Amino acid sequence: MAPSAITPETSPERTVFVKKVLDQDTRSRASSVSSVKLNDGNFIPQVALGVYKAPNGQETEDAVTAALDAGYRHIDSAARYANEEACGRAIRAWMERTNTPREEIYVCSKLWDADHGYEATFKALCDSLAKFGLEYLDLYLIHSPADNEEKRLASWRALEDAKRLGKVRSIGVSNFGAAHIQNLLDNATVVPAVNQVEVHPFCQRQELVDLCAKNGIKIEAYSPLARGNKLEDPTIGKIAEKYGKTPAQILLNWNASRGNVVLPKSLTASRIQSNLDSFDFTLDAEDIETINNLGAENYVTGSMHKSAD
């Protein structure tokens, strides 16, 4: 059922989310994905299926279904991706088929740049909820910081109110640099739960990561495989051979080992499964240090990040 328009004046607060008891089969499916705690007390699955550039049709529905079947419990979409409907159809059908409660599936979407401003943000959130066919989102992000500070802060106030009203469980940002984060901290009532930015061994953004960590803001790493452009790196290849893993699995494991939420993108069932198999081993300290030393390159793959840090 599509939600009606929400404003602080018209929407009742929703502050209680009931945790249903899972049957054994559902528990076993969910056990392959670990979760990390956010600064608002909610938990987020540490690996998500990213659907950037995925079409709004059967291919994406099949990918989301394959991910949920494999054990993913976190789907990351956005209004800008224009595939919220396909994601929603797949999520709802999978929950019905497997008798999985809504609380077990973590769904994220994002406010696009054209919709900054208090009222526009509420409307955009309503539109996303309607497209997903869901009553609430687990996470809603500002996709990138508006150049207009007043509109940016107004959008954040709207997200704070949406969280209070129960339309979203956690709120955060994406592509925010250090100055954007600090400006928000200086003016916000609710500290962002996450900052979704490009992070991988060749683009580590350590100063920004440190600022976020200092304020309890979890890093969500998009493009964790550097869009496939570094899979032939000889250092990564040598480490992959040592562990009997693929270079992609080394890159994903490194990111998760830093405590980041990792957002690999794929529409292929075999790769979706392979990405999920990236977290069943532990990198040795010396290998982590070797990978850390790759960060000096600061290789950005076309990020929307609007700052130099």
Q: What is the DSSP string of the chain?
A: -PPPP--TTT---------PPPPHHHHHHHTTS-EEE-TTS-EEESB-EE-TT--SSHHHHHHHHHHHHHT--EEE--GGGT-HHHHHHHHHHHHHHHT--GGGSEEEEEE-GGG-SHHHHHHHHHHHHHHHT-S-EEEEEESS--S-HHHHHHHHHHHHHHHHTTSEEEEEEES--HHHHHHHHHH-SS--SEEEEE-BTTB--HHHHHHHHHTTPEEEEESTTGGGTTTT-HHHHHHHHHHT--HHHHHHHHHHHTT-EEE-B-S-HHHHHHHHGGGSS---HHHHHHHHGGGGG---SS----S--
* Contact predicate 77/108, CB 8 Å: yes
Q: Average pLDDT for residues 76-103, to the nearest whole number? A: 98
Which band of pLDDT confidence, cut at 50, 70 and 90, is reported for residue 165? very high
| Residue 303 pLDDT > 80 | no
pLDDT of residue 54: 97
Residue 172 pairs with which residues in a beta bridge?
A: 141
Residue 151 burial (CB count, 10 A) = 18
Which band of pLDDT confidence, cut at 50, 70 and 90, is reported for residue 61? very high
Q: Average pLDDT for residues 235-253, to the nearest whole number? A: 98
pLDDT of residue 229: 94
| Residue 5 pLDDT > 70 | no
Which band of pLDDT confidence, cut at 50, 70 and 90, is reported for residue 23? very low
Which band of pLDDT confidence, cut at 50, 70 and 90, is reported for residue 306? low
Mean pLDDT (the chain) is 90
pLDDT of residue 6: 40
pLDDT of residue 18: 26
User: Which stretch of 2-6, 147-151, 160-164, 203-207 has the lowest confidence by average pLDDT?
Assistant: 2-6
Q: What tokens appear for 182 in the block?
A: 């600090």
Q: What are the tens digits of pLDDT across the range 105-150? A: 999 999 999 999 999 999 999 999 999 999 999 999 999 998 999 9
- The annotation places the binding site for substrate at 143
Q: Average pLDDT for residues 77-106, to the nearest whole number? A: 98
Residue 10 burial (CB count, 10 A) = 9
Distances 180 to 142, 226, 303, 306 between C-alpha atoms, Å? 12, 24, 16, 9
- The annotation places the binding site at 143
User: Which stretch of 30-34, 88-92, 254-258 has the lowest confidence by average pLDDT?
Assistant: 30-34
Residue 53 burial (CB count, 10 A) = 11
Phi, psi (degrees; rounded to nearest 5) at 14: -130, 105
- Annotation says 81 is catalytic: yes
Q: What percent of the chain has pLDDT over 90?
A: 84
In the chain, the amino acid numbered 132 is F
**Catalytic residue of the set 52, 72, 81, 118:** 81
| Residue 25 pLDDT > 70 | no
pLDDT of residue 297: 83
| Residue 28 pLDDT > 90 | no
The b-or-e profile of 110-143 (16+ CB within 10 A means b, else e) is: bbbbebbbbebbbebbbbbbbbbbbebbbbbbbb
